[in-house]
Structure 1
Amino acid sequence: MREIKAATIRQKGGPFQIEILNLNEPLPDEVLVRVVATGMCHTDMVARDQLYDVPLPVVLGHEGSGVVEQTGGSVKKVAVGDHVVLTYMWCGHCKPCLRGDLTYCENFYPLNFGGAREDGSTATRDTSGPIHDHFFGQSSFGTYALAHERNVIKVPKDVPLELLGPLGCGIQTGAGAVMNALKVKPGSSFAAFGGGAVGLSAVMAARVAGAAIIIAADVVPSRLELAKELGATHTVNSKETDPVEAVRQITGGGADFTLESSGRPAVLRQAIDALAIRGTCGIVGAPALGTEAGFDVNGVMTTGKRIIGIIEGDSMPDIFIPALVELYRQGRFPFDKLVKFYSLEQINQAAEDSEKGITIKPIIQLAS
């Protein structure tokens, strides 16, 4: 048993409470990580506000980065002292996992949102009893986290470890949507509807992929300015301009690819309507469970448009996260321009700044 400091959610809507908890030793297939920093993602707020059914009380946090402190007896993938990024969890034994479709694991929801291991056990306690953990297989809003060997990704030691956590979810979601799922082609046109961390990661990835026209649509002028710096050839302020008409005009009829990351049904409709003939719209925004959206059926059918759901950027993390690290090291994927650092004690301020659009990607620093 190890004493840790962690941020706990005990009631719907928060706040995060900084507490001293106890964490069990790793099981044979688990890795104990001393957390250096953890990105804050929209999904943490979704869980906090119970838009998804996550049991309380719970330690959240799912974009952790840190140093391996201890490994279970059967772990071979990493060793003590390795620098790692923690990512989403998958079961490894269902049909989608066996096909290599890790992000569409049949057990994805319970493993990432169920507040426990696959067998229902937890590893975190306070003086009153168990605390739910293993959020995305990690619960990294704490000084230490237990993860499975499966969702621990080794990264080089010559890249700032405190920066890398968001690659485990938000950044790989946006970049992977473009590079893995949509497969944006050189010379094509791409429009990101939403200029948060996911949308701006998609903009950077579209530039890497060689898209000729890259459009960012958002309502926050500072985000649109940053989008230009990160590779957008055009920006659209959706408060001032109809984004569908703007995209059609810029592209000469519609975008080959669009990505909706806001989680708003009305924006999804815009992303679909802004497509060119035979264009593809990817959905990565996470609204409340049960949210429905509409589109013009004939407008989709007669133009051969496609609408696809995308989880975690269709990423195989052991391959894709190191690739993003290398692109960053080469200066071709400058995601560091999205981040602002906060201490654990500032975690509620980080959440507020994120929700207000003041900070695109907060990172909670837990150690040096």
Structure 2
Amino acid sequence: MDSLPTKNIPTKALVVEKPGAPFVLEDVILDEVRSQELLVEIKYAGVCHTDIVVQEGKMPIGSFPAVLGHEGAGVILRLGDGLKESGLVAGDRVMLGYCSCMECPACNEGRKGACNNIAMVNFAGARGPEDSPLRLANGTSIRGAFFGQSSFSKLAIVDYRAVVKYDGPVEDLSFLAPLGCGYMTGAATVLNVLQPKPSQTVAIFGLGAVGLCALMAAKSVPVAEIIAVDILDSRLEMATKFGATKTINGKQHDSIEAAIREVSQAGVDYIVDTTGLTKMINEGIKALGHGGTFAVVGTPRPGELAEFDALDMLVHCKKIIGITGGYCDPQAVSCSFGSAPALADLQKFIPRLVQMFRSGKFPIDTLSKTYPPTEIEQAMQDMKSGKV
């Protein structure tokens, strides 16, 4: 049993005081662990683009100050009374993903990444918008339980729905932590939702962590052609290393559609957009071949509208689909989207990705760099610039 108090648990966390404010390492107090919650010592936490857009105030979460972070990984210190039969025990290593309501039609079908209430249970806090497990030392309430974890904290109260057990070395969590969101989302979009055939073509827009993992997944199929699009040469070079057959620097072309059709005259079968930029969405839809599918994975700004030629959509049988979390359940057997069995149907999805990493098909250890909490601003700048 840990030696921490049962409530009013002191720890340190990166706090954002208001939209646009920097992350500041502060003393905070955690509430007691409730029945369906765990106390986790966070060893590592990935920095996701979603954390940045929330910190910048471009995506609402209800209130500030807030503790963000939703790609945590660490060790269980304590379990709530309702988790005695969960198969988890203190000392277990865990990765942390997202929450789902467990009650809506999508959750009941196994598509927890497509939960009807995913925004409420993740962005408003797993306990609900008026109930947070965090406060400042002066008593000020902090928006917590972000994605059921708020893992930019040394200790975190975590909703059990976000927990995935990991049996490997704790040191590996330094590069496995982003499996909880970004890496899983990119890979599951390809393997669990789109399910391209070996004869088909895939284009990836945006080569951050999500895009590169989508690319690795497409390479693992393997598909006939992978077109990688970004504006940073460093990321395009990395895409080639991971299996892209053609790269396009968006800054060097007036039309992304034209650049893609120079490579694939008939258009491409699938496009995975991780940029969230409406310009890229508009260009991408035009670049689809007959029967092609455009997957919106990156987060557009609220209120921004994409445009498309409705007749072109009809005549060429094109499809647009929004995908959150690759539609998969990171803890259990994920759904198949279509008639062919997805890898996620055969294994638990995050453990499957770990297996792919071990076999050399998912080299995620080369994607990340570790920073101390005091250097989070530098980490975000390096992420934006393409250094990591």
| Paired residue secondary structure (1:43) | helix
Following superposition, the deviation at residue 196 of structure 1 comes to: 1.2
Amino acid at match of 1:143: K
Cα displacement string for residues 244-275 of structure 1 (whole angstroms, at most 9, x for unaligned residues): 22322322311111111111100011211111
Are 2:66 and 1:58 equivalent residues in the alignment? yes
Within 1, Cα distance between the matches of 2:150 and 2:227?
35
Equivalents in 2 of 1:155, 1:137: separation in Å? 18
Residue 90 of structure 2 aligns to a residue whose secondary structure is coil
1:36 to 43, 46, 53: 43
How far apart, CA to CA, are the structure 2 residues paired with 1:222 and 1:352? 15
Q: Name the structure 1 match of 2:131.
A: 121
Map residues 207-356 of structure 1 onto 2, 5 A cutoff. Answer: 207-241=219-253, 242-318=255-331, 319-356=348-385
TM-score, normalising length: structure 2:
0.90
How far apart in 2 are the matches of 1:358 and 1:269?
28
Counterpart of 1:353, as a letter, is: D
RMSD: 1.4
Alpha-carbon deviation of 1:190?
A: 0.4
Question: Structure 1: how far apart are the matches of 2:145 and 2:370?
Answer: 24
Q: Name the CA distance, whole Å, in 2 between partners of 1:243 and 1:15.
A: 35
CA offsets 1:295-337 (integer angstroms, 9 cap, x no match): 1111211100111000011121012111111101111100122
Q: Which amino acid aligns with 1:252?
A: Q
Matched, 1:173 2:181: no
Please give the per-residue CA displacement for 1:123-174, whole angstroms capped at 9, x wherever unaligned: 1111132211010110000101111111100112247122111001111111
Residue aligned with 1:298, SS: helix
Number of aligned positions between the proteins: 359
Matching residue within 194, 211, 225 for 1:182: 194
- Paired position in structure 2 for 1:151: 162
1:363 — aligned with what?
none
Q: Give the letter aligned to residue 11 of structure 1.
A: K
| Range with greater deviation from structure 2 (109-118 or 205-214) | 109-118
CA distance in 2: counterparts of 1:7 and 1:317, whole angstroms: 26
* C-alpha distance in structure 2 between counterparts of 1:119 and 1:310, whole Å: 24
Q: Which runs of 4+ in 1 moved over 3 A?
A: none
2:131 pairs with 1:108: no
Distance in 2 of aligned mates of 1:78 and 1:339: 28
Q: Give distance in 1, aligned partners of 2:351 and 2:302.
A: 32
Q: Which residue of 1 aligns with 2:93?
A: 83
% identical equivalent positions: 40
- After superposition, give the CA deviation of every residue in 1:154-211 in whole Å (9 maximum; x if it has no partner): 1122471221110011111111111111112222110001111111111101011211
- Tell me the SS of whatever aligns to 2:81: coil
Q: Partner residue of 2:218?
A: 206
Check conservation: 2:114, 2:325, Cα contact below 8 A: no
Residue segments in structure 1 that go unaligned for 5+ positions in a row: 360-368
Match of 1:138 in 2: 149
Equivalent position of 1:14 in the other structure: 21
**Residue identity matched to 1:128:** G
Letter in 2 for 1:145: A
Task: Indicate if the aligned counterparts of 1:64 and 1:168 stay in contact, CA closer than 8 A.
Answer: yes
Question: Is this contact kept in 2: 1:8–1:16, CA < 8 A?
Answer: yes
Q: Within 2, Cα distance between the matches of 1:22 and 1:41?
A: 24
Deviation track 1:188-240 (CA, whole Å, cap 9, x = no partner) reads 11000111111111110101121110110111000000001111111111111
Does the Cα contact within 8 Å between 1:69 and 1:81 map onto a contact in 2? Answer: yes
Instruction: Say whether the 8 Å CA contact 1:51–1:287 is kept in structure 2.
Output: no
CA contact (8 A) 1:116 1:132 kept: no
> Counting strand residues as a fraction of each chain, which structure ranks higher?
1
Question: What letter is aligned with 1:313?
Answer: G
TM-score scaled to structure 1, two decimals? 0.94
1:69 aligns with 2:81: no
CA displacement at 1:78 relative to structure 2: 1.6
1-structure distance, mates of 2:291, 2:194: 13
Cα distance in 2 for partners of 1:276, 1:288 equals 27
Cα deviation for residue 116 of structure 1 reads 5.1
